[in-house]
Structure 1
Amino acid sequence: MFYEPKDGHGLPHNPFNAIVTPRPIGWVSTRGADGADNLAPYSFFNAVAYVPPQVMFASTSDKADRAMGKDTVANIEETGVFCVNIVEHEMRDAMNATSASLPAGEDEFIKAALDKAECTTIACARVAAAPAALECRLSQIVKLEGATNYMVLGEVIGVHMRDDCLRDGRFDVTTFNPLSRLGYRDYATVRELFELKRPGD
């Protein structure tokens, strides 16, 4: 099968959602200028550079009570900071609960019964029990093609790691089983690892 997205695919569900997988989930926490906390998952998320460390996520929908994207993007535009919390398998239900579209100013931490911790370098809450959390300073918001598509780029200026996730000097993902997004309503958990040496190693 071949299709051009501009012409449609003719399938009951969009296959593009399932082709680029697995994707890490950026569980992004923000605090608005009014002091209200927000937490939402984004599956268009990744690290994009080592030095300085940088991450990106994209928001692809909007809300009637926001002029720009969703609460997350609006808060980041107001404050210039955000935190990316890493999602483990055990937090899948809480993560999913925070994907609900709530009115602006309503706290997803409370709705999902998640404990908060304050970030260290930025004025923002983070998921207290997350395996890791990346405190970020906004680099830029890029308007992408499409009515509601925004890419947010940030520099990581603070890193939290749960002590039990450190083994032999490494951040060990086998200690918490990272959750990833597949297509449609499908998810996967990383449970099996293997190592490949690059040519010249």
Structure 2
Amino acid sequence: MSRTGRTYTRHFELDTRQHELLGIDLGEGAPRRALVIGIAIVALWFGGLTLLFGLPGKLTFTIYFLPPMIVSVYGAQRSRIVDRRWNLTRWAIGIRYLVLGHRPIICGGQRAAARGEWIARRDRWAPRVAFLADSPLGPLLDRWLGPEDTATPGAGAPVRLDSRPRLYGPDTVARATRRRTPIPHQKKGDQ
């Protein structure tokens, strides 16, 4: 028999909408979160290009506004892979993984992982850039990814688990707890 878990919090999510913006009627309304993120992305993209190349002309207007609009529209949609996240969140996590790697959690965070225990750059990038290996960029790519035969040092030999389950009855558990719990009215010297 298999058990199936269900998450109902998605049904309680209320999406606020903006019906009017600067006196312009938006009709049924745009989702406010998507609108705010879209405005932020457009402002950053437009500001960066303006600092680099100056104000847009008739021909460059599309380059200034179309890419951030596409990212905003598709990024604000629910992901089909992880339905609790937006596409923008998934993209950001994927980019962070490729750039910074993954820092493993060891002993529940009791010890910080050494740099050798992180996932190597080649392991993160090689599946995504394998098509470039036979191109003229191949040697440059190999140099950037690092040597292929680097093995991540392990933590040591495997630990063999040789445990035997035991079943204790309630009388045994009661005796064990009685032995360890001091009686409140006795003092240490009276025992």
> TM > 0.5 between the two?
no
Bigger fraction of residues in helix: 2
Bigger fraction of residues in strand: 1
Structure of higher RCO (CA pairs closer than 8 Å, 6+ residues apart): 1
